[in-house]
Amino acid sequence: MSKTPMTETEKAMIDAIRSDPKIGRGTCAMIDECMDDSDLLEELRENGVTDPEEAVAHFKGDENAWREQADEALGAGGEKQIWGQV
């Protein structure tokens, strides 16, 4: 968790991520479900992300990678088995 206060630009980046229709609030994306604002800010700072558009693109890339890993881990039909739909 970052102890340095958020800048206005960092607040705008977090707002852009949270309002994105694919990864933002209410999407059930990994970012929406598992990362709070301090997690997002830490990741943005560690990767030198400096503007809202770049911030959204960064996390969309992460989301795609996480989905691919989940698909590989679950295998064909795995999601249905997890959710009791078989």
| Domain regions of the chain by residue span | 8-82
* Mean pLDDT rounded to a whole number for the chain: 83
- The interaxial angle of helices 52-74 and 37-46, nearest 10 deg, is 100
Whole-prediction pTM = 0.74
Neighbours of 7 (CB within 10 A): 10
Q: Where are the alpha helices (DSSP H) in the chain?
A: 8-19, 30-34, 37-46, 52-74, 78-82
Mean pLDDT within 58-67: 80
Above pLDDT 70, what percent of the chain? 81
Give the pLDDT mean for 61-81: 67
What is residue 36's DSSP assignment? Answer: -
pLDDT confidence band for 78 (50 / 70 / 90): low
